[in-house]
Amino acid sequence: MFDNISILFQAPIFAVDLLVQGLLIGGIFVLAAYGLALVWGVMNVKNLAQGDMVILGGYVAYQCTLWGIHPILALPIAFVVLFVLGWGVYAAIIRRVVDRDMFTSLLATFGLSLLIQQALNLRFGPEVKIAEAGFGTFDIGELSIPAIRFVGLGLAAVLAICIVLFMRNSRMGQAIRATSQDPRAARVLGINTDQVYAFTYALNAAICGAAGVLVAMIWNIQPFYGLVHSIRAFIIVTAAGLGNLPGVIVAGFGLGVWENYSGFIFGAEFAVAAVVGLLVVVLMVRLFQMYRLRQVVR
């Protein structure tokens, strides 16, 4: 472990490489985390199936490459497929857990997560898959970075800007924000909150699907990787707080950087442990902040 740290100091180019790669990956984490924050803030549902929807989107892209469609063109396809699927999931499951206690939604979406990952395992098998986009590498000085990572980050940024503009300006976006502030008042003012919830959940699924396409292009997918993606989204949202878009972006990039550095320093076998360990740490920090708050109130 200490050998690896000293390598970082002896060859700073490695450190810069890890930083850039981490930032490029982090953009994708931001997308999934934003979707989670949306669903969490608007309808108070903790979606543990978040990561599995990401992976599902990845498999849509993979399937498209098998059919000879370029993965970048698979992005809108995955967006639409996951949107429809999200609407269906809302109608079948989430509608019934929205106003129940939060553990209910957590466990129901955990069941959904099991269902998705096992179905993917049956359909595609447990091997690690990549949706080959066929870009070369991109050289800056001594660094050589796969160009697809830049493309991925760019696409993520475009998508995020579109969603933010949609939430700000469209009629539906306004309705979603109104519902998240006060569902009862929104209902009184003639907003069909059930439809808003359905749209929100479907939009979240669609964002996850698009993020999944990017993951499949610049990284890899496997049916059981979903849980770690869910945990990443939870880390980012918990660290940033709800309704804090700049915080989500910073936390997402930070997580990407942390993952790359910890994977290098502790070794690849501890990569997942470093992510999940960070979740526990973030929860603990939040907890101590809360304790301080309680002391002040007292």
Partner 1 sequence: MSAQKLDLSLYGVLIAAGILVPLLAPAFTSQMAILWLMVLMAVTWDMTGGQMGYNSLGNIAFFGIGMYASAVVQIGIVYDVAEYTAAFGAIKVDFTVEQYWTGLLLGIGFGGVVATVFALIIGPFMLGLRGPYFAIGTLGLAVAVAELVSGWSYVGGGSGISMPVFPGEAASGSQVFYVLLFVLAILAHVVIRAIYKTRFGLAINAIRDDEDKAEAMGIHTTRYKVTAWMVPAFFMGMAGAVFGNMSGFIEPLEVAFPTATFGIFMVAMALLGGKGTVWGPVLGAILFHIVKEVTWTHLLGWQWVALGAIIIINIVYFQQGILGWAQDRWPSLFGVTVDEKTTRTGQAEAAK
Interface contacts to partner 1, rule CB under 8 A:
46, 48, 93, 96-97, 100-108, 110-116, 118-119, 121-122, 227, 231, 234, 238, 266-267, 269-270, 272-273, 276-277, 279-280, 283-284, 286-287, 290-291
Cβ nearer to partner 1, comparing 108 with 215: 108
Lookup: tokens for 196? 């808003």
**CB of 235 closer than 8 Å to CB of 251:** yes
Measured CA distances, 122 to 63, 90, 104, 220, 247 (Å): 14, 24, 27, 18, 38
Q: How far is the CB of 95 from partner 1 (least distance, A)?
A: 9
Cβ nearer to partner 1, comparing 16 with 106: 106
Q: How far is the CB of 119 from partner 1 (least distance, A)?
A: 5
Cβ nearer to partner 1, comparing 76 with 267: 267
Cβ nearer to partner 1, comparing 118 with 137: 118
Q: How far is the CB of 231 from partner 1 (least distance, A)?
A: 6
- CA-CA distance, 33 to 208, in Å (whole number)? 9
Task: Give the closest residue to 207 by CA, choosing from 260, 166, 235, 239.
Answer: 166
Task: Give the closest residue to 200 by CA, choosing from 43, 31, 32.
Answer: 43
Q: Where does the chain have alpha helices with state H? A: 2-10, 12-43, 50-66, 71-89, 95-97, 102-124, 147-169, 171-181, 183-188, 193-218, 226-240, 245-266, 271-297
5 CB-near residues (< 8 Å, 6+ apart): 265
Q: How far is the CB of 230 from partner 1 (least distance, A)?
A: 9
Please report, as a single letter, which amino acid is at residue 67.
Answer: W
- Integer-rounded Cα radius of gyration of the chain: 20
Cβ nearer to partner 1, comparing 91 with 145: 91
Lookup: tokens for 211? 């993020």
Q: How far is the CB of 141 from partner 1 (least distance, A)?
A: 34
Cβ nearer to partner 1, comparing 168 with 286: 286
Cβ nearer to partner 1, comparing 93 with 245: 93
**CB of 100 closer than 8 Å to CB of 117:** no
The owner of tokens 């997580």 is 255
Cβ nearer to partner 1, comparing 13 with 283: 283
Q: How far is the CB of 103 from partner 1 (least distance, A)?
A: 5
- CA-CA distance, 38 to 44, in Å (whole number)? 9
